[in-house]
Structure 1
Amino acid sequence: MADEDRTPEEEFQELLRNLLGGGAGELDPEQLSQLSGMQIDPAMMQQVMRHLQGAFAAGDEGISWDMAKTQALHIANQDGLGVTSGQRTDVDQAFSLANLWLSEATGISQLSSPPAPITRGGWVEATLPVWQELADPVANSIADALTETLSAQTPAEMQGLLQGAGRLMRTVGGSLFATQLGHVVGELSKEVVSGGDVGIPLMPDGQAAVLPQNFATLGAELEIPDDQLALYIATRELAHARLFRHARWLRLHVISQVTDFARGIHVDTDALEDLATRFDPSEPEELRRAIESGELLPTRSDAQNAALERLENLLATIEGWVDVVTADATARIPSAERIAEMVRRRRAVGGPAERALGSLVGLELRPRRMREAAAMWRAVTDAVGVAARDALWDYPDLMPGADDIDDPSALVARLEARARGDEPVPDEFDDALARLLAGEDPSAGGDAPGESDEPDDHPDDHRPV
C-alpha cells in the first residue's frame, strides 16, 4: 500500500511499532501532522515520542532528574562568570566578622565547616537534591496523568501496542516536568543571594554560602555599599545555617511538612485532556507553559490549605528568629534597617522564579507571618534573655506554635515562671500523664489541682471522652 493511501490510524500504528520495536530514526513531522485526524495532538505527540524514544533506547526507569540538572546548570552558567579572588576575599572577611557579631546575639554555636562564596552553578548543584525531593510527588502525579490521558486518546484497536510501555510513558511525563523544574531552578539561581534565602534548608547540613554575583546587583539597586550588604547577608545566612545545625530535627520537620503537602497534589486530568484537544501544532511550547504555570494542578483541598497554613507558621517561626538575631548582630551596620526591610519584602513577595516554582509544585514557600513571628521572638528576648529564648529550639515540643505568634504573652509568662523556678501549671497532658504513671486510666476525668471537691451541677460534663 502506498504511503498516501494509509489512514492516520495506520500511520500512528507504524510509528509505535518502530518506536517500541527499537527504531531509533527521526520522527517524521509529515506523519505526525496526520494524527490530527485521530484527535491526537501532533505537537504533544512529537514531544512525547522524542522523549519516549530516548527513554526506550536508554532503558531508564522513573524520572530522569539528570535532565533537570542539565537544564538548571545551562541557565545558571550562561554568563560564564565565577567568583573572583576579590569577591572571595570580601566574602570571607564578611563571614569572619559576621561570626563574631552573631556570637554576641545568640548562644547557638558556630558551624563546624567554614562558610564560602559560591557561583550560581554551585548553588544549583548543592540544592538540587532538595528540589528533587520536594518536586518528586508532583512529577509522579503528572507522569501518571499523562499516561492515562494518552491511553484514553489511543484507539481501542491500537491499545495492544501500548501495553508494556507504561514505564516509558511515565518517563515521558516525568521528563517534561523535570525539564521545567530545571528551568525554574536555573532562573532561581539568578535571584537568590544565599543558601537560606528561600527559607527552607536547601544547603547540606551545617553549610552556609552566599552568591556574590547576585547580591552585588541587589546592592546597586538599593544604593547600599557592597561591604554593608555583604556583611548583613553573611550574618543572616550564618544565623539560618547555625539554627538548622543546632536543631537537627528541624530540617526533617520542614521537609516532611512540605512533602506531606505535595503528596496531596494530583494533576487535573480534565485540564490535561482539554489542553491536548486545543493544542496548536505551531505552538509546541504550550505544554511547557501549562506545566510551569500550574494550570494542570487543581484547586487546593481543605486538608491542603490546613497543611499549608501549618507550614507557613513553621517557616515564619524560623524566619522570625533569624530576623531578630540578625538585627541584634548587625546593629552596627548603618544601613542594616534598610537592608532588613528589603529582605522582608523579598521574602513576602518572592521573585519571578520563586513564583514560577510555586506554580510548578503548587506551593508558595513564603512566611506570610514573619513580622508577627519576629515580634514574638523580640518579646521573648526582652523578657527572658538570649539563652532562654534559644533553648526553645532544643526540642520540637518546646518550639513556639501558631497560638504563640498570635499572642506571645502566654509564652512569655511560662518562660518567666520557669526562670523564677516556679512550678508550671499542669495542663491536660500533664494530668493524663500523672494518672498513667499512677496506674490509673489516663482518659478518666479527675479534679485538676486547684479545683473544688464540691459536687458539680453538671456531672455529665466529666464523662470520659
Structure 2
Amino acid sequence: MDILRSIRAVSEASGSGVVDWERAATAAKASTDPGSVALAPAEREGYAIDVRDARERLRDEAGIDFDVPDAIEVQNRHHWIDASVDTFRNVIAPIEAAAVEEVNRDRRAGRSWNPARDLSRIVNTGSMAFTLGFLARNVLGQYDPLLLANEPDADHGLYFVHPNVVAVAAALDVDYPRFRRWIAFHEVTHAAEFGAAPWLPEYLESRVERGVEGLTAGGLDPAAFAELQTAMTAVEGYAEVLMDRAFDDEYADLRRKLDERRGGGGPVQRFARRLLGLDLKRRQYERGAAFFRHVTDVRGIEAAGTVWDRPANLPTDAEIDDPEAWLVRVDP
C-alpha cells in the first residue's frame, strides 16, 4: 500500500465532472493491498465446482430454472476496483452530466475557473476512492446483473474476491473450502433470483435512475428510493433463506460467525459501514429473511418464489413486516 500515492492522486483530481474517476481508482488501489490470486489448478477448479453444484442444488430446492453467467472470475482486490468503477460511474451519470453542463455554461460566460467546484471534485474523488477501497477489502463475492451497463446485452458477471475469501475464512476460524462453497451458494442464489425474474434488472434500474435524477434536479423522489430499498430487501432476504435450505453442509456456525462479522469490527470499520449504508444492508438481510422464513413455513419455498413472477408480487415495505398481509394479497 502507498498512502502518500493515494493522497496525491486525490489531490490531483481534475476534469469537468464531479469525480475524477481515473484518480479515484488510482487512489483506491494505492491504499489497498491487491492480495494474491495465484491459485493452484485444483483450487481454481474448486470455485467452478462450487458454482456448478450450487446451481443444481438451488434448481432442485426452489424449482427455479436458471443459468449462471459464463464469466466466473476469481479476482484480487484491484481487479474488483477496476470492475466496479463503471458501475458507480453509471449510477451518478445524471449528476456528472449536470456538472459538465454547468462548466460549459460558465465557460461560455467567460468564467473559466471555479475554486469551489475544484475543491468539491477533490472531496468527491477522495470519497469515491475511500468507498472503492473499503469495499474492495471487504467484498467476498458478487453477482453482477450489470445494472445501468453501457452494454446491456453483455453477459452478467459472477466474481469472487479470493484474497478476502481466504482472509475472512482465517479470521472466522472456519475451513476455507467450506467457506468458499458457502459464498458461492450465496452469489449463485442471486443469479437464481435474476434468472427467475427477467423484469428485475429494469425494475431496479428505473428506481435508481428516478432517484438520482431527482437529486440532480435538486429534489428527492422518496417513492423511488423506497421501492428500491423494498425490492433489495426482498432480494437479500430470499437469498438468505434459499441459500440456507440449499447448502449441502452444516451452516449454523457459518451463519453465526458471518452475522457477528456484519455487526462487529473496530470503530473505524463501524463508522465506515454506517457511512456507506452497510448497516442498512444488514437490516435488509434480517427483515427480508424473516419475511421469507414465515412465507416458507406457511406455504413452502415454491410459494415464496412467486415473488419473482411479476413486479406486483413484490412485497410492500409494510408487508415485509407483515407477511400474512402479503399472503392474503398475492395468494401464492
In the alignment, which residue of structure 2 is the partner of 1:456?
A: none
The 1-side partners of 2:325 and 2:148 are apart by 33
Verify: 1:408 aligned to 2:311, yes or no.
Answer: no
* Structure 2 gaps, min length 5: 1-9
CA deviations on 1:365-415 (whole Å, 9 max, x unpaired) are 525243232222123233433333323212111112223212111333455
In the alignment, which residue of structure 1 is the partner of 2:6?
A: none
The 2-side partners of 1:70 and 1:235 are apart by 32
Verify: 1:213 aligned to 2:163, yes or no.
Answer: yes
Equivalent residues of 2:241, 2:292 under 8 A apart:
yes
The 2-side partners of 1:379 and 1:51 are apart by 50
The 1-side partners of 2:156 and 2:288 are apart by 24
Verify: 1:337 aligned to 2:252, yes or no.
Answer: yes
State the 1:329 CA deviation.
0.6
The 2-side partners of 1:314 and 1:340 are apart by 23
In the alignment, which residue of structure 2 is the partner of 1:194?
A: 141
Equivalent residues of 1:142, 1:173 under 8 A apart:
no
Residue of structure 2 aligned with 1:119, choices 76, 88, 95: 76
Superposition TM-score, scaled by structure 2 size = 0.75
Residue of structure 2 aligned with 1:366, choices 245, 257, 281: 281
After superposition, the Cα gap between the structure-2 partners of 1:377 and 1:51, relative to the gap in structure 1 and judged at 3 Å, is closer
After superposition, the Cα gap between the structure-2 partners of 1:372 and 1:202, relative to the gap in structure 1 and judged at 3 Å, is same
CA deviations on 1:20-70 (whole Å, 9 max, x unpaired) are xxxxxxxxxxxxxxxxxxxxxxxxxxx98x656xx5xxxx66753222222
The 2-side partners of 1:66 and 1:348 are apart by 32
Give, as a single letter, the amino acid of the residue that structure 1 aligns with 2:173: E
Give, as a single letter, the amino acid of the residue that structure 2 aligns with 1:173: S
| SS of aligned partner of 2:300 | helix
In the alignment, which residue of structure 2 is the partner of 1:173?
A: 120
Give, as a single letter, the amino acid of the residue that structure 2 aligns with 1:322: A
After superposition, the Cα gap between the structure-2 partners of 1:144 and 1:213, relative to the gap in structure 1 and judged at 3 Å, is same
Equivalent residues of 2:67, 2:191 under 8 A apart:
no
After superposition, the Cα gap between the structure-2 partners of 1:139 and 1:368, relative to the gap in structure 1 and judged at 3 Å, is farther
Equivalent residue runs for 1:2-401 within 5 Å: 55=15, 63-76=19-32, 78-79=33-34, 81-85=36-40, 86-108=42-64, 109-113=66-70, 115-136=72-93, 163-166=110-113, 170=117, 173-196=120-143, 206-263=156-213, 309-330=226-247, 332-334=248-250, 336-346=251-261, 356=272, 359=275, 366-401=281-316
State the 1:355 CA deviation.
5.3
The 1-side partners of 2:274 and 2:213 are apart by 15
State the 1:259 CA deviation.
4.9
Q: Which moved more, 1:338-347 or 1:188-197?
A: 338-347
Q: What RMSD, in angstroms, separates the aligned Cα atoms of the two structures?
A: 4.4
CA deviations on 1:242-298 (whole Å, 9 max, x unpaired) are 3124323323433443454455558xxxxxxxxxxxxxxxxxxxxxxxxxxxxxxxx
In the alignment, which residue of structure 2 is the partner of 1:6?
A: none
The 1-side partners of 2:84 and 2:45 are apart by 24
State the 1:105 CA deviation.
1.9
What is the percentage of aligned positions where both structures have the same residue? 23
The 1-side partners of 2:200 and 2:265 are apart by 23
Give the number of equivalent residue pairs: 316
The 1-side partners of 2:223 and 2:308 are apart by 24
The 1-side partners of 2:254 and 2:147 are apart by 22
Equivalent residues of 1:82, 1:119 under 8 A apart:
yes
In the alignment, which residue of structure 2 is the partner of 1:454?
A: none
The 1-side partners of 2:312 and 2:245 are apart by 26
Superposition TM-score, scaled by structure 1 size = 0.56
Kindly indicate whether structure 1 or structure 2 has the higher relative contact order, using CA contacts under 8 Å at least 6 residues apart.
2
In the alignment, which residue of structure 1 is the partner of 2:3?
A: none
After superposition, the Cα gap between the structure-2 partners of 1:339 and 1:356, relative to the gap in structure 1 and judged at 3 Å, is same
After superposition, the Cα gap between the structure-2 partners of 1:354 and 1:383, relative to the gap in structure 1 and judged at 3 Å, is same
| SS of aligned partner of 1:208 | strand
Equivalent residues of 1:83, 1:212 under 8 A apart:
no
The 1-side partners of 2:265 and 2:155 are apart by 24
Equivalent residues of 1:316, 1:367 under 8 A apart:
no
| SS of aligned partner of 2:283 | coil
State the 1:338 CA deviation.
2.3
Equivalent residues of 1:138, 1:263 under 8 A apart:
yes
After superposition, the Cα gap between the structure-2 partners of 1:370 and 1:357, relative to the gap in structure 1 and judged at 3 Å, is closer
Equivalent residues of 2:17, 2:121 under 8 A apart:
no
Give, as a single letter, the amino acid of the residue that structure 1 aligns with 2:171: E
In the alignment, which residue of structure 2 is the partner of 1:444?
A: none
The 2-side partners of 1:202 and 1:183 are apart by 22
State the 1:104 CA deviation.
2.1
CA deviations on 1:69-116 (whole Å, 9 max, x unpaired) are 22233344x346224225423322322322222222223312242533
Give, as a single letter, the amino acid of the residue that structure 2 aligns with 1:212: H
Equivalent residues of 1:134, 1:259 under 8 A apart:
yes
CA deviations on 1:174-202 (whole Å, 9 max, x unpaired) are 354124312320231011101159x9969
